Chains A and B, each alone.
Chain A
């Protein structure tokens, strides 16, 4: 069986990206590319700068050195709201807004004056395995369901790439499996590009095609996930 073709279109490129706060180096000289359709895992020990790097990609924090190019445009020249729509972030804890699942899914598009019809909501929910959940109050969801709603809510913004920050670290094994399956289904069905931050090496191998290993804010290894993470 031949190996899957290596995606070539670069949608995101970091150039000497770094952030230092009060003399503490969070991320230092990060240089890497993200190609269309790939799943890139960022892994490393606790406090190695994984989440800090992800926040820089979404520009929730400002780099103190270097920059990021999104589709060859320096992201400092992209309006922050548009940038964040393009690079959708799913946080470790799913902060759902009070209301129904459908209300949450409509939040992102509503910021641009767009409405998502009921069929669109159902389609998004079926992608994450939550068909018929649209009318449910988010207060009554389990941790795994809430995280999948958070994923669908970010997908509703039609992003170029999804940035997932430890999406299963707060979940039990069963819920972790549900969320991983939802991610794999989106990758399979839509060919969407993902960056997944995880401290779980096995999860990184299961989900990602490529991986970066961070230590003390620096990328120490990069390459095919199986090779880099098995070493």
Chain B
């Protein structure tokens, strides 16, 4: 219907963005009715996301013509930004940014490096950056989920954790059940994506490959390859992140730093 009113592609795109944003804002209003205030965070995230993607879209043409080595710099920048974004879910935990950046760099970075070396990901910048960004973005989401769950569990079980400490338990072992739960919970989206591939959703990458002339079977197999890489990158990120973060909630004298009301 929008294309009846807007004939230029840019105008149509902006109108589509507006409609999508209004739909998202409806959710914000519904949440407000239940006493959940998402207004500020959602507005900032949407405006920021739109500005960022327009900026990236504008320089993408230049970027995709740049020499291959620049993809390393671009991906490193993405990892830093992903670390900063997901670290926000670990409010009150010291060093959350550093932990997140290292976890994503190791999780997504090692999968990108290995798969590029093996020829699963083409070294062309036009392939490496889009696929690398997919792995980094999913690793970021997984990391955010893991940190969020870990923080919530530690706050909810500070009594149990301090009881274990008071009985002489090692600090890291006193939070082991919550580390385990965070790791498992963070991988739910990646596992569900793999499980429902082709049934619940047909990812954009596969559709794009078919539209650009790839054989459907190859497009389908490559989609599985990408999802398996996402799973590996996300899992490694969460593993590293939960391993590193568990020591950060304690002081050197094994005192629990993250406590309700502090």
Contacts and interface: CB of A to CB of B under 8 A. Distances in A.
B159 A60 contact: no
Contacts of A37: none
Interface in A77-93: 80-82, 84-85, 88-89, 91, 93
Given A61-B255, A93-B159, A84 B166 contact: yes
B168 A85 contact: yes
A108 B253 contact: no
A89 B254 contact: no
A95 B163 contact: yes
Contacts of A58: 166
B253 to A, nearest CB: 5
A218 interface: no
Contact of A60 (B165, B168, B169, B170): B165
Nearest to A80: B254
A203 B167 CA distance: 26
Contact of B253 (A21, A80, A93, A112): A80
Interface centre among B159, B168, B169, B256 (most CB of A within 10 A): B168
Interface string B16-36: 000000000000000000000
Contact of B255 (A21, A59, A93, A95): A59
Interface in B168-216: 168-170
Contact of A154 (B159, B164, B167, B169): B167
Contacts of B169: 81, 107, 111
Interface in A96-133: 97, 107-108, 111-112
A153 interface: yes
A58 B262 CA distance: 19
Interface centre among B159, B160, B167 (most CB of A within 10 A): B167
Contacts of B160: 95, 97
Contacts, number: 58
A157 B253 contact: no
Interface centre among B160, B170, B253, B262 (most CB of A within 10 A): B253
A62 interface: yes
Contact of A153 (B159, B167, B170): B167
B253 A62 contact: yes
Interface of B: 159-160, 162-170, 251, 253-256, 262
B157 to A, nearest CB: 8
A59 B162 CA distance: 11
A61 B251 CA distance: 9
Given A91-B163, A95-B159, A111 B253 contact: no
User: Main secondary structure on chain A at its contact with chain B?
Assistant: mixed
Nearest to A76: B253
Nearest to A75: B253
Contact of A91 (B159, B168, B170, B255): B159
Contact of A62 (B162, B168, B251): B251
Nearest to A89: B166
A60 B167 contact: no
Contacts of B167: 84-85, 88, 107-108, 111, 153-154, 157
B159 A84 contact: no
Contacts of B256: 60
A91 B167 CA distance: 11
A112 B166 CA distance: 13
A81 B167 CA distance: 8
A43 B182 CA distance: 40
A111 B255 contact: no
A62 B255 contact: yes
A88 B253 contact: no
8 contacts: A58-B166, A80-B253, A81-B170, A93-B159, A95-B159, A95-B160, A157-B167, A157-B168
B168 A81 contact: yes
Given A61-B255, A62-B251, A111 B159 contact: no
Contacts of B254: 80-81
A95 B162 CA distance: 9
B167 to A, nearest CB: 4
Contact of A111 (B162, B163, B170): B170
Nearest to B162: A60
Contacts of A111: 167-170
Given A80-B254, A84-B167, A95-B163, 5 more contacts: A76-B253, A80-B255, A84-B166, A97-B164, A108-B168
Given A93-B159, A95-B160, A95-B163, A82 B168 contact: yes
A59 B253 contact: yes
